[in-house]
Amino acid sequence: MVKWQSLELPALWQVFKYIYLSIMTSSVSAKTMANALRALAMDAVQKAKSGHPGMPMGMADIAVALWKNHLRHNPNNPKWIGRDRFLLSNGHGSMLQYGLLHLSGYDLSLDDLKNFRQLHSKTPGHPEVGVTPGVETSTGPLGQGIANAVGFALAEKMLAAEFNRPGFDVIDNYTYAFLGDGCLMEGISHEVCSLAGVWKLNKLIALYDDNGISIDGKVEYWFADDTRKRFESYGWNVIGPIDGHDAEAVSEAIAQAKKSDKPTLIDCRTIIGFGSPNRQGTSKAHGEALGDEEIAVTRKAIGWEYGPFEIPAEVYEAWDSRAKGDMEEAAWNNLYAKYKEAYPELAAELERRMAGELPADWDDVAFNAILKAVEEEKTVASRKASQMALNELAPHLPELVGGSADLTGSNLTNWNGVQALRADNMLGRHINYGVREFGMGAIMNGIALYGGFIPYGATFLTFSDYEKNAMRMAALMKLRTIFVYTHDSIGLGEDGPTHQPIEHLASLRLIPNMDVWRPADTVETVIAWESAIERKDGPTSLIFSRQNLPFMVREETNADDIAKGAYILEEAPAGKEQTEVVLLATGSEVALAAEVRKILTAENIQARLVSMPSTTVFDRQDEAYKTDVLGNGLPIVAIEAASTGLWWKYVKGNGTVIGLDQFGESAPAKDLFKLYGFTVENIVNTVKTTLNKGK
């Protein structure tokens, strides 16, 4: 609620402007406003000859209720911190969101709508953050939108607990999510909505498009859950069912939801493709253009007397949210100015965090952490090295928030003195996600999208498969999300092949824009963490061992070279020009390669040892650096206890790869490494054979 007496003249002007425009446009009914959305959805899908008109037509009245009566946003400034967040979990209905953005006054023109689903358009088939102004997250893979929404709501609650002060609720917004039957069928919805209830995210409001139809037809034959009882069991406030085509009823339900101390699900009964005489209520309205004839009769049925992409001026005026948005932002700016005056240090910290900038002393913090690792020379598992790095870095990074999918004691993702996050302690920075890998990943993406935090979460590497699509979405959206994985190879040992990753490293490295680090010791681990934290344009996967890895003694610790993804750890004893073979290894196999090099040196074979903690980062380096590290045409023996496929691009037909292209077994790690050829003897013989072949 805007307090008039507290507003200064610019803000008051925005208030009077909004009141005037509201009076001038009050004659346009909610049904007419909804029909404008229906018409745009029909027309855009028809012009594109593909898309999903059914959901936008069915949820149009719900959209009117939310966007006109409750959603706090400013089309003139889509990134305004004080805005509410709107997420379209059922992202196939993207034309609903595009219609809302266009009509409300965002930088999305009618021509943009006409270019729906076309090359390089601002209106792709599913919403994409960074492409369309006003889109908060990329959706389409069902269930992840509501998962992101949980992350948004959690971030809002954490930031509010940290920065708000009495009389200064500068972080105070709702997160609204539209979702459908498909989102609720996906298992991730259970994972994240259960957590939302536990965390009491009362400013999360989900509006459920309960239309009973999916692509295959009536969902009653495969989705018979009692959804309302399901959400009640999670600890949610549940409203409905209500008539989803009654905008007033929906608006009243949203108002009621705002009063709850729990997250709210509003069950809105709707008819898919509402208004289409021959297709509404059927799967034929879901995922295909209605056709010219059906569109014509639909226009007549809903009383829309305008041509394709034609919106009358009075409807535009009724939808235009710019004046209201300016008013709301002016009020917030007024509040924030007073907050900044009263709490200048807090305001500066909030601004730094929301801008994604690291603390001023970050370089010193990172340098000291590397120096400590060099000086201590500890032989530990890299998962332990990761925790040691967190102990040095995390206390200086209040934005770092992380946890584990019920494996904290194995992943070692907590640090000294960190508090656990709880519903009654939103200042905690360690999150217990429970056994919910996929949900964890998608929630982290939501946290990253909201801003103010750098999230990370951990599990065993083999369980990255559960999390994979969230990782892909993080990479697609270029999010600053950190995925931590331990127990990275057959070194896991007795837990056996179900828990031993084989193909996982390769699959992660194949995700575009995903950085993958597998460090060999404590120094490389600190640098991997530093790289992940500093990276602003994409996610990072950090891969750590269960077993101890020896500290690698370096003649000189060149952190800049290590940060390039690969570097010469040990040069051939006779010098660079005399190098006969390159031993290329990563993670736990670097120490093994070092032992091999000793034997080769004793036999007067000049071997260079290259540690490659990150293939993805190394691949971005210039050709001169790559050649300097790997040599020009030198035989290469690459060693990693995982799939061999991606290593052949470095070998280039001159050398070989020692890896693992089969599942492991349950046995002590030392027995497995011997069984699969990860021994000094086998690798030495392989090098000799490779050199003989070369000769």
Per-residue tokens: 488:
């990275």
Give the residue ranges of DSSP H helices in 521-645.
522-534, 559-562, 589-602, 615-618, 623-630
Which of 107, 64, 115, 66 has its CA nearest to residue 86?
Answer: 66
Vertex 428 angle, CA 534 and 145, to 5°: 65
What gap in Å lies between CA 626 and CA 618, rounded to an integer? 8
Contact predicate 142/127, CB 8 Å: no
- Interatomic CA distance for residues 316 and 37, integer angstroms: 11
- Dihedrals phi, psi of 585, to nearest 5 degrees: -145, 165
Q: Cα separation of 546 and 641, whole Å?
A: 13
What are the residue ranges of helices labelled H in 268-321?
292-302, 313-319
- Give the largest CA-CA distance in the chain: 92
Contact status, residue 540 vs residue 527, Cβ threshold 8 Å: no
For residue 436, the tally of other CB atoms under 10 A from its CB is: 25
Q: What totals of helices (H) and strands (E) does the chain contain, helices first?
A: 28, 20
Going by C-alpha positions, the residue among 517, 520, 510, 523 that lies closest to residue 541 is: 517
Nearest CA-CA partner of 532 in 436, 407, 390, 419 = 390
Distance CA 601, CA 597 (A): 6
DSSP label at residue 541: E
Rounded Cα gap, residues 401 and 395, in angstroms: 11
Residues recognised as catalytic: 437
Strand boundaries in 133-203, DSSP class E = 175-180
Q: Using CA atoms, how far apart are residues 255 and 260, in angstroms rounded to an integer?
A: 10
- For the chain, how many residues are written? 695
